[in-house]
Structure 1
Amino acid sequence: MSARTPTRPANPADGGMDVRLPWWALALPALAFAVLLLLLTGPSDAQAAGGSGALAQFLELVRQTLGHLGV
């Protein structure tokens, strides 16, 4: 008589690990992408003329948001 081969459960999630990403795992890459996009597409001549640039406004908004979150 041959021995029975153990089989895996029908639903591997029952005995498996719960995979969840923290909020910052999605927010940080999106923020980095937005900053790089602004750096590449922003008008560099307008910032050199003394005007408030889009990057400066964006960074100020990020600073205010993080201040409200208590980070």
Structure 2
Amino acid sequence: MSAPSHIRPPQTTRGGVEIRLPWWALALPVLAFVALLLLILNPVDAHAAATGEQPALAQFLEWVQQLLAR
């Protein structure tokens, strides 16, 4: 005769599945995004490629930078 096994059912949340991520699983993509964003906002040789008009993306990023500097 085998003994009954006491298996706890998995703990669930509203969605039915509990997912736990380590802190670095979110920190590393955020750090990479911020680093790439800083490279876009502060290019070293941007004056060499500059024409008379700034592209729309550059104007938008400059506006965001000024907004954050306030």
TM-score normalized with structure 2 length: 0.37
Q: Select the structure that is richer in helix.
A: 1
